[in-house]
Amino acid sequence: MRFSSRGQVDPFIVMDVMEAARAAEAAGRHIIHMEVGQPSTPAPAGARKALAAMLEKDALGYTVALGLPELRAGIAALYRRWYGVDLDPGRVVVTAGSSGAFLLAFSALFDAGDRVALGAPGYPSYRQILRAISVTPVDILTKPENRYQPVPAEIPRDVQGLIVASPGNPSGTMLGKPELAALMAVAAERDLAFVSDEIYHGLQYEAPAVTALEVSDQAYVINSFSKYFSMTGWRVGWMVVPEDHVRTVERLAQNMFICPPHASQIAALAALDCVEEAEAMRAVYAENRRLMLEGLPKAGFTKIAPPDGAFYIYADVSEFTQDSRAFAAEILERAGVAVTPGLDFDPVRGHTTLRFSYARQTADIEEGIARLAAFMAAR
């Protein structure tokens, strides 16, 4: 049977790493996982408890497409708590993870043949989802001296949209309010759709993270319960859209998703109140980050972007390799540490970069750093 050409998306190289790590574990080796982009912890206890109770008493049928009204209100309240921003819950769209939000956002904003600018290195699925709906991603090769974030002068002329991420994946770097405002001003001036990926908000360790909504309501802001609330597999996220976009997004959501998973919405609503547990995880990541920022340079990985948030460190390893895939395989083989080659994030320059994740428990991170140091010393 026929295939579409858009079905031909790039493979995720990290999947090969994960497969190789699984094979090594199956053969009896102990592997430290610095390749994964998810917490090792379950959803907050309060979230799981709320769902367990609801399983007894509710049919958990379809919800309305935009999500449970009380969850939309709870998310709006989070913007007051986190940023001091007043947000109309009517502008909040609950989605099937941030993936669902991207599908909805890109469908609402772009037509086949449109071109959309985004930073490289960046989250690989932006590019693949855009291509899957016949939109062309246009990479901005962001500079290490700009902390791998785009600057206004780099925005191409012939695009219809701009996607930014702060904290970024794989870099962990953030855009300050002036930098974000400068990018949004260019977008407004040129009538570009502006999409702000804020999925790692909550996980910042020094300065507070800035939401695009502090600058202007003319943005699609995307976030999720996956990272800060440790709910990756639940597939529940959200999007804040300009008021006049709500109806359009609602109709797309009715047709493309019907609704986000009901059980996950129940758990997410309760998670909003589990501040203590989420903050305890943030403290773990903060300690992990401290260990990484101390240990990686000592091991020899000195060219790293200053990671303001998320749980990643992106390292330039050009002095050691021109083939990050082979280098990652060597690290897995010889050090027993799984790391991600940069090619998933930056097809052009990722052959000389690696991403290290510190989402796991601190003991694992300590062991991983020790193994990396021994590997580099022996190399």
- Cα gap 253→65, rounded to integer Å: 6
In the complex, least distance from residue 231 CB atom to its own copies, rounded to whole angstroms: 8
Q: Examine residue 189 and tell whether it contacts its own copies (CB under 8 A).
A: no
User: Binding pattern to its own copies, positions 147-176, x when CB under 8 A?
Assistant: -------------x----------------
- Cα gap 247→369, rounded to integer Å: 50
Q: Tell the residue number behind the tokens 């899957």, with chain if given.
A: 132
Q: Examine residue 56 and tell whether it contacts its own copies (CB under 8 A).
A: yes
Tell me how crowded residue 93 is: count the other CB atoms within 10 A of its CB. 29
Residue list 283-322, contact with its own copies (CB under 8 A): none
Stretch that binds its own copies, among 50-58, 71-79, 288-296, 335-343 (CB under 8 A): 50-58
Q: Examine residue 362 and tell whether it contacts its own copies (CB under 8 A).
A: no
Structure-token pair, residue 188: 């407004």
Nearer to its own copies, 29 or 251 (CB): 251
Q: Choose among 19, 69, 74, 10: nearest CA to 46.
A: 74
Binding its own copies (rule: CB under 8 A), the pick from 263, 286, 329, 373 is 263
Nearer to its own copies, 216 or 321 (CB): 216
- Cα gap 115→359, rounded to integer Å: 34
User: Binding pattern to its own copies, positions 92-131, x when CB under 8 A?
Assistant: ----xx-xx--x---xxxxxxxx---------xx--xx--
- For residue 33, the cross-strand partners are 338
- Please state the separation of Cα 339 from the chain's center in Å: 17
Binding its own copies (rule: CB under 8 A), the pick from 13, 21, 31, 63 is 63
- Cα gap 270→22, rounded to integer Å: 34
Binding its own copies (rule: CB under 8 A), the pick from 10, 70, 206, 323 is 10
Binding its own copies (rule: CB under 8 A), the pick from 134, 136, 321, 362 is 134
In the complex, least distance from residue 54 CB atom to its own copies, rounded to whole angstroms: 10
Cβ(125)–Cβ(107) below 8 Å: no
- Listing DSSP states for 219-235 in one string gives SEEEEESSSTT--GGG-
- The order of strands in the sheet holding 340-341 is 312-316, 353-357, 340-341
In the complex, least distance from residue 161 CB atom to its own copies, rounded to whole angstroms: 8
Residue list 228-247, contact with its own copies (CB under 8 A): 232-235, 242, 245
In the complex, least distance from residue 251 CB atom to its own copies, rounded to whole angstroms: 5
Cβ(49)–Cβ(261) below 8 Å: no
